[in-house]
């Protein structure tokens, strides 16, 4: 049981640092330093410098700031207006009508952003006022937006999938492609919920339905065409093996700059703001990743991950039991940490367990993101809740309650991907010459 007490030791110190208000990355570096000083003879400074430099200089990781920058550029265009104008005419006849704009708008922006918070902010800044103006019920507006915003973590290009891929040394391109079908599946589940809710609550829905001619639908949708082309070019180049994830990210940035130029939203101020926003976000994420890599090294020297994996293996848990335990673990962890921190903090211990149990690491990455998505709408630390709190002028628990049905739908999606792993594995298996 030495590994048990060692695990408790690391967790207690980490919780102490986090509870003291120290940054997540610095907390992990602090725990790693203490662990290496106590349990190894290797020079801590040399190990830290080598590990952090190796992480920060990874070519694969170069895709991260580029995809973040692409999202920052498009966030400053009139994309949110175009999303509403382009989608609304096609959705008015569906049960739930314009509420589906929240789901489809988030799905589309997720395919160019990779960030859950940015997805909610972009779609919400236009959808909330428009839906309120048409007298849609407040709870369903907020709930569908909070839940659908989590698609930013799953639908490629996903920032958290880049982090996961670098951490476990799996193909970013395969992870991106693996997220497509589960992302579409989850979006369809959200839309089915909207349909069912609207059918059971007809009295609460607006009585008037807007009508659009086919010509109006085509004209309005034309404004979405450049975004669709950009998404297809980025994801298509990865799927066909023409480009790596990093090269596709560079293509995305160039496309976003061209698009924003023709939309006349690319001025010097917005250009500077997009670079500054991308730099801040990327530095924060890479700093956390560097901290967790050093933590993995420190724990590796203690033999903790290997011994813990062997201990769990000795418990003779079935694969489904292990996944069930991990699901509960990540849901609880997500109540207190953001998604990226939850993933990087735990991979050093969880990865050996998963490999020992024989799970495919590409599949596990998609499963993990689905579970982590739930943390975006669980109090007290749910990023989507914080974003909507400011936009909707509602308290965080009101938003969490409104999003709870979507939380249950995500659990259903997790069950589906566990029972049918081909949802995540089929498309990557069909990739032509997959690159990193």
The pLDDT of residue 433 is above 70 = no
pLDDT above 90: percentage of residues in the chain? 16
What's the whole-model pTM score?
0.78
pLDDT digits (tens, 9 = 90+) for 168-194: 888 888 998 999 999 999 999 999 999
For range 197-217, the mean pLDDT: 82
What is the distance in angstroms between the CA of the first residue and the CA of the last residue of the chain? 39
Ramachandran area for residue 169 (φ above 0: left; ψ -120 to 50: alpha; else beta): left
Backbone angles phi, psi at 337, to 5 degrees: -130, 150
The pLDDT of residue 56 is above 80 = no
For every residue of 13-33, DSSP letters joined together read: HHHHHHHTT--HHHHHHHHHH
For range 140-147, the mean pLDDT: 91
What's the pLDDT score for residue 1?
46
45 in any annotated domain: no
34 in any annotated domain: no
The pLDDT of residue 282 is above 50 = yes
pLDDT digits (tens, 9 = 90+) for 308-365: 656 666 677 788 888 998 888 888 777 766 677 778 777 877 888 888 888 999 999 9
How far is residue 262 CA from its own chain's centroid? 29
pLDDT digits (tens, 9 = 90+) for 401-415: 999 999 999 999 999
Supply the DSSP symbol for 222: G
Residues 350, 308: Cα–Cα separation, whole Å:
9
3 in any annotated domain: no
**Is 280 or 82 the better-scoring residue by pLDDT?**
280
38 in any annotated domain: no
SS3 430: coil
Mean pLDDT is highest, among 64-73, 182-191, 288-297, 369-378, for 182-191
The pLDDT of residue 391 is above 60 = yes
For every residue of 352-406, DSSP letters joined together read: HHHHHHT--HHHHHHHHHHHHHHGGGSSSS-HHHHHHHHHHT--HHHHHHHHHHH
How far is residue 80 CA from its own chain's centroid? 19
391 in any annotated domain: yes
What's the pLDDT score for residue 408?
93
Tokens of 96: 């739930």
DSSP element (H, E) containing 351: helix 339-357
pLDDT digits (tens, 9 = 90+) for 415-432: 999 999 999 999 988 876
Residues 276, 279: Cα–Cα separation, whole Å:
5
Mean pLDDT taken over the chain: 82
**Is 210 or 275 the better-scoring residue by pLDDT?**
275
349 in any annotated domain: yes
For range 268-295, the mean pLDDT: 81
339 in any annotated domain: yes
Q: Could you tell me the residue range of the domain that residue 156 belongs to?
A: 59-429
What's the pLDDT score for residue 3?
55
What's the pLDDT score for residue 47?
79
What's the pLDDT score for residue 193?
95
Query: Confidence class of residue 7 from pLDDT cuts 50, 70 and 90?
Result: low
Query: Confidence class of residue 75 from pLDDT cuts 50, 70 and 90?
Result: confident
291 in Cβ contact with 26 (< 8 Å): yes
Alpha carbon dihedral 331, 165, 152, 216, in 10-degree steps, equals -150
For range 250-261, the mean pLDDT: 88
For range 276-290, the mean pLDDT: 80
What's the pLDDT score for residue 80?
66
Look at the chain and report how many structural domains it folds into: 1
What's the pLDDT score for residue 432?
62
CA–CA distance from 337 to each of 15, 167, 192, 386 (Å)? 11, 18, 30, 13
80 in any annotated domain: yes
């Amino acid at each position: 049981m030495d590994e048990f007490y060692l695990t408790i030791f690391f967790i207690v110190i980490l919780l102490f640092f986090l509870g003291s208000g120290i940054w997540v990355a610095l907390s992990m570096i602090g725990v790693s330093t203490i662990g290496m000083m106590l349990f190894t003879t290797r020079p801590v400074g040399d190990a830290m410098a080598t590990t952090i430099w190796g992480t920060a200089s990874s070519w694969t990781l170069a895709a991260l700031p580029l995809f973040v920058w692409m999202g920052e550029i498009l966030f400053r265009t009139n994309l949110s207006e175009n999303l509403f104008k382009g989608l609304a005419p096609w959705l008015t006849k569906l049960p739930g009508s314009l509420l589906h704009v929240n789901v489809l708008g988030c799905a589309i922006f997720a395919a160019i952003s990779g960030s859950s918070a940015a997805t909610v902010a972009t779609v919400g800044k236009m959808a909330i006022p428009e839906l309120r103006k048409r007298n849609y019920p407040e709870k369903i507006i907020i709930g569908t937006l909070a839940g659908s915003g989590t698609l930013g973590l799953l639908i490629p290009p996903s920032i958290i999938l880049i982090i996961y891929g670098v951490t476990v040394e799996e193909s970013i391109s395969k992870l991106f492609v693996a997220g497509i079908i589960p992302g579409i599946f989850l979006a369809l589940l959200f839309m089915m919920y909207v349909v069912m809710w609207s059918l059971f609550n007809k009295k609460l829905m607006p009585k008037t339905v807007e009508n659009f001619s086919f010509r109006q639908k085509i004209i309005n949708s034309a404004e979405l065409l450049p975004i669709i082309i950009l998404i297809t070019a980025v994801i298509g180049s990865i799927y066909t093996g023409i480009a790596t994830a990093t090269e596709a990210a560079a293509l995305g940035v160039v496309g976003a700059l061209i698009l924003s130029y023709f939309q006349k939203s690319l001025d010097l101020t917005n250009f500077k703001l997009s670079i500054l926003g991308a730099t801040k976000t990327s530095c924060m994420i890479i700093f956390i990743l560097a901290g967790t890599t050093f933590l993995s090294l420190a724990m590796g020297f203690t033999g903790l991950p290997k011994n813990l994996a062997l201990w769990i293996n000795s418990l003779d848990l079935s694969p489904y039991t292990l996944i069930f335990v991990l699901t509960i673990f990540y849901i609880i962890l997500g109540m207190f940490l953001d998604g990226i921190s939850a993933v990087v903090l735990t991979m050093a211990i969880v990865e050996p367990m998963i490999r020992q149990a024989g799970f495919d690491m590409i599949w596990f990455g998609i499963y993990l993101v689905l579970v982590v998505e739930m943390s975006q709408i669980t109090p007290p630390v749910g990023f989507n809740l914080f974003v909507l709190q400011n936009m909707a002028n509602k308290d965080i628990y009101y938003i969490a309650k409104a999003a709870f049905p979507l939380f249950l739908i995500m659990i259903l999606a997790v069950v589906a991907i566990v029972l049918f792993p081909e949802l995540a594995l089929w498309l990557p298996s069909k990739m032509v010459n997959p690159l990193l």
